[in-house]
Amino acid sequence: MTTESEKTRLSSPRTSIRKRAVRLYVLFAACIVLVLTLSSFFMARGFLEQRVLSQLSSIVAAKEDLVEHVLRNDRARVALLATRTEVKEVIQGNNTRTILNELIERMREEHVPVLGVAVFDLSGQEVSGAGLSARSKPPEQESTILYAITDDFGWQEYEIFSPVYLEGKHIGVIGVRYDARPLLDTLLSVASVGETGEVLLGAEQDGKLVILHHRFQPDGGKTLLLGDIDEQYSYGSPLAKAVKGEESLRRSEDYSGQDVYAAYRTLPSLGWGLVVKINRYEALAGTVRLAWFMAILGIVLIFGAGLIAVILAKYLTDPIMRLSRKMQKLGPENWGFRRSVYTGDEVEFLDQVATDMASRLKEIYGHLEEKVAERTQELKAQYAKDRAILESIQHGIITVGKTGVILSVNPAASLLLDMDITDLIGTKAEETIRFCKEGKTQEAQNNPIVRSLVTRKVARIDSNQHVSVLQKDESFLPVTAISAPLLDKGQLLGAVIVFQDVTEERRVDYIKSEFISLASHQLRTPLSTMNWYLELFSDEKEGLSQMQKESVREMDRASKRMSDLLDTLLHAARLEGGNIMPNIRKIDIIAFMNDVVAECRSVAKIEGVNCKSDISQEPITINTDPVLLNVIIQNLFSNAVKYSPKGGDVKITLKSDGKYIDITVKDSGMGIPANEQHRVFERLFRARNVKSIDTEGSGLGLYISKMISGVIGGELTFVSDEKNGTVFTLRLLVV
């Protein structure tokens, strides 16, 4: 014992406080550094991203203003030319090309990129022109119009037309053709954006999105077709959104698949889209350098924090280590403990507690053996008492493990089964404890022990089930039994079954049934005589008075009730005695139920109750006794009609899942009180809430139906809610 104690005291801890303190401190410092580093990085990246987008927004706005300013000035210049006298004289034919050439020379001296001037009459015919001729047809409306001229090589030129008036009368149109390249040189310049910066100019042509000019378009290169404009718009293309009249700043993917930041707007004068973009990696290049710097700085800080953590941990844990070495020496042979820590903190307090604890342990240990001996004696006495109770009780008690193997048996169980305890322990419960009904051994799955192990619920064998247990000599012992699972926090440990010899109760029950059967037979003779006299008295030829006739009718009704009661008692006695053998045969349950429902509707109509049905129309064949099945359904339906109010509903349903059929009878009556539902199938039982409205019931209908359901191999169950009706369900096996 001393050696084992020494091993326990000298065993090293899995992790020292010092190491844990260092790890936690370093982890804490690393988390702080990581949070600060990441937050700083994301803040810097967000700030830089906003600055880039703001710069792109300023650039695209400036370029839009440039285009609009140039085109607006050119429109104003053409409108001014339309007011000149020389232009009007050209339209009237008084002067020709010389005047137009002079106009071109003058505009070129003013650095206007003009290519040609033409004058048209009202019919659209060119009267005169200088330089390059107009490529567009002059407009019919009397306003200044701009036409952008594009081809496979993008935007090269544009023309502006303005109406010419003489004394308020429209006499013609002047058109000026401009070179767009000087404007494009300024518009497409991206020197201030960056190496990957690019300005896109796009337009819609025949429902397609076309890039008129882009960075990778060489001199004289062709335009770039991106595809359907609506499809590009749905993909979030900035150029498509700009052409559609939108303007915004966003991160997106450009036509070459690059991740970019883009600012886009619409050019109102042209109806085109303008996009200024830059590659996202170039825009955020500064954040990469910042990330490397912060990562290196974070590593340095973490190493520094680790060094500080080691120093602090050593300073804090040295007193604890000294205290632990002293504590290891404590034991039955050495309870002496002196204070040695004077740090003024919690460790010193712990040293005080350890000193006090050692003193108290020394005192407690002296009385421990005496208390252990006393407690052991108490447990032995309690065990002997419990064992005596189990051995003296008259009920058989058997416990099994979770696999169904018998673990313990009390003497009463051994006596009832007529088997030695040693022969029972270690055997399978379902093989040793066999139950039988009506002379037939029940299958293992119906054994209450197996049921409680499988379902983890209480399984019962009541006295009215007439079940017996087989003894060692194969004789039958009538019993009632209850089996309950043994659970520990939801874990199945096994089960315990308690069973009782009910031979005397079974004999008394048999005598009672025989008496009821005999009394029923003996009462039929005087009852038949009384019925014959009642029929004689009810003959109108006898000349009875009205009061006498009413009395005879009342006696006749009482006689019929007595006859029905005797029939019911006789049926119950026969069922209890096993004298009714079912005539099992194959029947079409659908046709059978349709006939039953038709009969039930007639009864329900007389009582003022609505009878509904829901029966499948596909043929279903089952093995059963149709006469006994009809008795069950008629009993259930009769109760449903009897306890449903006038105008209430009773519904008969038949459903099948391919293996079983369920026949249900649902009423809208008063229901069964919850505290009485466990007695519904008992003989002569009637619920308290029906006695006040029906004083003639016998309490045998459901009792008989339950027994018949067992005879024909079915199962009768119910669900009831007081004041909301009851649903009875009969389950039968499909062939």
Q: Using one digit for the tens of pLDDT, what is the confidence trace for 483-515? A: 999 988 888 889 998 988 887 777 766 666 666
Q: Would you state the pLDDT for residue 331?
A: 66
Average pLDDT for the chain = 80
Closest CA to 478 of 508, 512, 516, 458: 508
**Is residue 115 within 8 Å of residue 157, measured between CB atoms?**
yes
Could you give the CA distance from residue 82 to residue 732 in angstroms, rounded to a whole number?
A: 103
Domain annotation covers residue 9: no
List the beta strands (DSSP E) in 36-141: 114-120, 126-131
Which of 468, 501, 534 lies at the terminal end of a domain, its last residue?
501
Could you give the CA distance from residue 57 to residue 546 in angstroms, rounded to a whole number?
A: 112
Could you give the CA distance from residue 160 to residue 144 in angstroms, rounded to a whole number?
A: 7
Look up the domain containing 446 and give its range: 393-501
Assess whether 489 and 615 both reside in one domain: no
Residue 622: how many CB atoms within 10 A of its CB?
23
Could you give the CA distance from residue 713 to residue 493 in angstroms, rounded to a whole number?
A: 33
From residue 134, give the alpha-carbon distance in Å to each of 75, 119, 161, 175, 477. Answer: 16, 9, 10, 7, 122
Mean pLDDT of 425-434: 87
At residue 664 the predicted structure's pLDDT band, cuts being 50, 70 and 90, is very high
Assess whether 252 and 337 both reside in one domain: no
Assess whether 474 and 590 both reside in one domain: no
Could you give the CA distance from residue 678 to residue 415 in angstroms, rounded to a whole number?
A: 32
Could you give the CA distance from residue 106 to residue 112 in angstroms, rounded to a whole number?
A: 9
Which of 486, 501, 516 lies at the terminal end of a domain, its last residue?
501
Domain annotation covers residue 118: yes
Assess whether 675 and 700 both reside in one domain: yes
Kindly report the length of the chain. 735
Q: Would you state the pLDDT for residue 319?
A: 73
Assess whether 177 and 218 both reside in one domain: yes
Whole-structure pTM value: 0.42
Which of 501, 516, 551 lies at the terminal end of a domain, its last residue?
501
* Number of domains making up the chain: 5
Torsion of CA 346, 349, 353, 356, to 10 degrees: 170
Domain annotation covers residue 25: no
Domain annotation covers residue 378: yes
Q: Averaging pLDDT over each range in 376-385, 465-474, 578-587, 711-720, which range is the top one? A: 711-720
| Strand order through the sheet with 248-253 | 224-228, 208-213, 198-205, 272-279, 259-267, 248-253
Closest CA to 53 of 191, 315, 247: 247
Assess whether 474 and 527 both reside in one domain: no
Residue 385: how many CB atoms within 10 A of its CB?
10
Residues paired with residue 250 on neighbouring β-strands, in sequence order: 262
At residue 727 the predicted structure's pLDDT band, cuts being 50, 70 and 90, is very high
Position 312 pLDDT exceeds 70: yes
Assess whether 119 and 260 both reside in one domain: yes
Assess whether 368 and 454 both reside in one domain: no
List the beta strands (DSSP E) in 327-418: 396-401, 406-409
From residue 52, give the alpha-carbon distance in Å to each of 28, 38, 250, 259, 289. Answer: 36, 21, 11, 14, 17
Query: Six-digit token pair at 697?
Result: 């019931």
Query: Could you report the per-residue pLDDT of 670-723, keeping only the tens digit for each?
Result: 888 888 888 888 777 777 767 656 545 566 778 778 888 888 888 999 998 887
Domain annotation covers residue 21: no
Half-sphere exposure of residue 625: CA atoms within 13 angstroms, side-chain side: 16
Q: Would you state the pLDDT for residue 534?
A: 66
